[in-house]
Amino acid sequence: MEINFDEIQVIGFDADDTLWVNETYFRDAEEAFADLLEKYETKNKIDQELFKMEIKNLELYGYGIKGFMLSMIEAALELSNNQVSQSTLSEILNLGKNMISHPVEILEGVVEVLERLKGKYRLIVLTKGDLLDQERKLERSNLSEYFHHVEVLSDKKEKNYQDLLDHLEINVKNFLMIGNSLKSDVLPLVNIGAKAVHVPFHTTWQHEEVAEPEGKSGYMTVAKLTDVLNYL
Amino acid sequence: MEINFDEIQVIGFDADDTLWVNETYFRDAEEAFADLLEKYETKNKIDQELFKMEIKNLELYGYGIKGFMLSMIEAALELSNNQVSQSTLSEILNLGKNMISHPVEILEGVVEVLERLKGKYRLIVLTKGDLLDQERKLERSNLSEYFHHVEVLSDKKEKNYQDLLDHLEINVKNFLMIGNSLKSDVLPLVNIGAKAVHVPFHTTWQHEEVAEPEGKSGYMTVAKLTDVLNYL
CATH code of A39's domain = 1.10.150.240
Look at residue A214 and tell me whether its pLDDT is greater than 70: yes
Alpha carbon distances (Å) from B21 to B25, B72, B104, B147: 8, 21, 7, 18
CB-based contacts of A214, cutoff 8 Å, min separation 6: none
Interface touch B154/A135, C-beta < 8 Å: yes
pLDDT in tens, B140-150: 999 999 999 88
Interchain CB contact of A229 with B (< 8 Å): no
Residue A16 lies in a domain: yes
Interchain CB contact of B211 with A (< 8 Å): no
Interchain CB contact of B132 with A (< 8 Å): yes
Q: Which residue has the higher pLDDT, B218 or B81?
A: B81
Interface touch A86/B90, C-beta < 8 Å: no
Of B69, B86, B101, the domain-final residue: B101
What pLDDT score does B197 carry?
A: 96
* Residue of chain A whose Cα is closest to the Cα of B76: A86
Domain hosting B64: range is 23-101
For residues A118 and A171, state if they share a domain. yes
Residue spans of alpha helices (H) in A37-168: 43-61, 65-79, 86-101, 110-117, 131-141, 158-167
Domain count, chain A: 2
Of B101, B123, B152, the domain-final residue: B101
* Residue of chain A whose Cα is closest to the Cα of B58: A132
Alpha carbon distances (Å) from A75 to A89, A222, B33: 11, 38, 21
Which B residues in the span 45-84 are in contact with A, Cβ-Cβ below 8 Å?
60-62, 66-67, 69-70, 73-74, 77, 80, 82-84
Mutate to test the interface with A, among B10, B58, B60 (most CBs of A within 10 A): B60
CB-based contacts of A169, cutoff 8 Å, min separation 6: none
So what's the ipTM on this one? 0.91
Residue B65 lies in a domain: yes
The whole-angstrom distance between residue B208's C-alpha and the CA centroid of its chain comes to 9
Interface touch A131/B149, C-beta < 8 Å: no
* Residue of chain B whose Cα is closest to the Cα of A76: B86
Residue B189 lies in a domain: yes
CB-based contacts of A189, cutoff 8 Å, min separation 6: A161, A175, A177, A195, A196, A218, A219
Bridge partners of A122? A10
What pLDDT score does A2 carry?
A: 65
Whether the Cβ atoms of residue A197 and residue A226 lie closer than 8 Å to each other: no
Interface touch A70/B66, C-beta < 8 Å: yes
* Residue of chain B whose Cα is closest to the Cα of A86: B82
Q: Say which range, A60-74, A97-111, B164-178, B205-219, has the weakest mean pLDDT.
A: B205-219
Of B101, B131, B151, the domain-final residue: B101
Contacts of B89 in chain A (CB under 8 A): 73, 77, 89
For residues A29 and A95, state if they share a domain. yes
**pTM of the full structure:** 0.92
Residue spans of alpha helices (H) in chain B: 23-36, 43-61, 65-79, 86-101, 110-117, 131-141, 158-167, 187-191
